[in-house]
Amino acid sequence: MERADWIGAPEGLTRIEGMGVTAPDGFRAAGVAAGLKADGMPDVGLLVSDRPCASALVDTSSALPSAAVLYTRTLHTGSLRGVVVNSGCANAATGEPGITDARAMGAAAAAAAGVPLDSLAVCSTGVIGERLPMAILTPGLDAAAAALSTRGGAAFGEAIRTTDAFAKGGTFRLALTSGPVTIGAAAKGAGMIRPDMATMLAYVATDACVLPGDLLVAARAAAAGGFNRISVDGQMSPSDTLLVLANGEGPPLEGADLRLFADALRAICRYLAILMVKDGEGAEHAVRVVVAGARDDDEAERVGRAVGESALVRTAMYGQDANWGRVHQAVGQALAGTGGPVDVSLRFDGTVPDGPDIAEVLARPEYEMHVALGRGDGWAELFASDLGHGYVAVNAGYRT
């Protein structure tokens, strides 16, 4: 990614070479092919900490959450030991039998990994409406447990992919006054754009010591500033999950170090979120839509969503057309009924729509669309992608 300024990394956070979620001390992981995916790719991921973790779970706000989400919400988040994930089947819209399956999946994985019952979060991603094939899955859980390794972070990252074009994650070092900590991340998702597979999953592991309450506050802020700032087609999944695991021992972070850790978590989540936008099917551009001059932040947010999720604006991005009339139309719709004047002013990476450099700007893989409204101090941002033929091809052809 070229736009480091989009991430907002705090001082002291650096990206390093490493195995992602197994880079922090005390984490082992694995990814194996159990046979849930027809193409034989890895489909079971297991991440286990040698010691209990403080954990923070931020999951879907759908009114119809998946069975895995419903089960995981019942766990005690102060003493998790890790997470087990399968791809290929979402275990969503499966009712009570699905919850029983999720619980059995967690129990089998815990037994195989030698950790307590109900100490593993459970996530599933794939087709909605089909039961988990437990007879295929269970041997896969055993195989994953047998393969657990401190070098297994990359395999874990592969196993959670569905139709992602590339694996997403990273390894980071954060300098704190109390000493350095390591943070590893693995994520999947193409910004809710994928058919059925439309799920965002992100796992962050760290050897920092953080109180569960502090971790939850930081995770919620990171989700709000990261994954909730992206939209491809405005579709929410029943399985969306961010899970942060912190297995550090010793005095928990506080004060400036805790704030720095929270800032780093937010930057890492923004990094992962923007990767998801860039992976959108058929997407050729990641566009940061910034709305300024709204009456308040809520109004700016509404305008940002209207612009960034507009099919007309997004096809114009795809066509590299500085079609400001479509932005104008979306703004007018978003502000319907609010009264008062609106003075729309538009810049693409600082260039006006009829500027001489506009064609070059709109060809960039990443650019910023700045929409000023001249009504107040309200501000919002949204990361969006363009809408091209690839989206239709994948989403119409899938399953049939």
Judged by CB under 8 A, does residue 311 bind a second copy? yes
Judged by CB under 8 A, does residue 330 bind a second copy? yes
Judged by CB under 8 A, does residue 344 bind a second copy? yes
Q: Which of 195, 248, 280, 304 binds a second copy (CB under 8 A)?
A: 195
Q: Which is nearer to a second copy, 182 or 351 (CB)?
A: 351
How far is 170 from 226, CA to CA, in rounded Å? Answer: 15
Q: Which of 50, 178, 358, 398 binds a second copy (CB under 8 A)?
A: 398
How far is 45 from 87, CA to CA, in rounded Å? Answer: 8
Query: How many CA atoms are closer than 13 Å to the CA of 292, on its beta-carbon side?
Result: 9
C-alpha distances (whole Å) from 30 to each of 62, 84, 380 are 30, 10, 39
Residue 349 carries which side chain, given as an amino acid letter? D
How far is 189 from 170, CA to CA, in rounded Å? Answer: 15
Q: Which is nearer to a second copy, 250 or 337 (CB)?
A: 337
Residues 241-300 that bind a second copy (CB under 8 A): none
Kindly state the tokens that stand for 317: 């991005």
- Please name the helix (run of DSSP H) or strand (run of DSSP E) that holds residue 216, with its range, or none: helix 212-225
Q: Contact at 8 Å (CB) between 141 and 115?
A: no
Q: Which is nearer to a second copy, 172 or 324 (CB)?
A: 324
Kindly state the tokens that stand for 125: 């991603």
Q: What are phi and psi of 142, to 5 degrees?
A: -60, -45
Which of these segments, 72-80, 108-116, 127-135, 206-214, binds a second copy (CB under 8 A)? 127-135
Taking alpha carbons only, the member of 346, 357, 338 closest to residue 290 is: 346
Q: For the CB of residue 281, give the shortest distance to a second copy in the complex, in Å.
A: 11
Judged by CB under 8 A, does residue 326 bind a second copy? yes
Judged by CB under 8 A, does residue 93 bind a second copy? yes
Residue-level length of the chain: 400
Q: For the CB of residue 251, give the shortest distance to a second copy in the complex, in Å.
A: 38
How far is 26 from 292, CA to CA, in rounded Å? Answer: 45
Q: For the CB of residue 311, give the shortest distance to a second copy in the complex, in Å.
A: 4
> Catalytic site residue 163?
no
Q: What are phi and psi of 296, to 5 degrees?
A: -155, 175
Residue 6 carries which side chain, given as an amino acid letter? W
Q: For the CB of residue 297, give the shortest distance to a second copy in the complex, in Å.
A: 18
Number of residues that bind a second copy (CB under 8 A): 60
How far is 335 from 303, CA to CA, in rounded Å? Answer: 7
Judged by CB under 8 A, does residue 363 bind a second copy? no
Q: For the CB of residue 310, give the shortest distance to a second copy in the complex, in Å.
A: 6
How far is 33 from 43, CA to CA, in rounded Å? Answer: 5
Task: From the candidates 199, 206, 241, 351, give the one annotated as an active-site residue.
Answer: 199
Q: Which is nearer to a second copy, 164 or 196 (CB)?
A: 196
How far is 160 from 31, CA to CA, in rounded Å? Answer: 8
Q: For the CB of residue 37, give the shortest distance to a second copy in the complex, in Å.
A: 17
Judged by CB under 8 A, does residue 316 bind a second copy? yes
Residues 19-38 that bind a second copy (CB under 8 A): none
Q: Are strands 366-372 and 168-176 parallel, antiparallel or unpaired?
A: unpaired
Helix (H, G, I), strand (E, B) or coil at 383: strand
Q: For the CB of residue 175, give the shortest distance to a second copy in the complex, in Å.
A: 39
Which of these segments, 101-109, 161-169, 175-183, 332-340, binds a second copy (CB under 8 A)? 332-340
Q: Which is nearer to a second copy, 127 or 277 (CB)?
A: 127
Judged by CB under 8 A, does residue 346 bind a second copy? no
Residue 100: Cβ-neighbour burial (10 angstroms; 0-12, 13-18, 19+): middle
Judged by CB under 8 A, does residue 102 bind a second copy? no
Residues engaged in binding a second copy (CB under 8 A) = 60-65, 90, 92-93, 127-129, 195-196, 198, 233-238, 310-312, 315-316, 318-321, 323-326, 328-339, 342, 344, 387-389, 391-393, 395-400
Give the residue numbers marked as catalytic.
Answer: 199
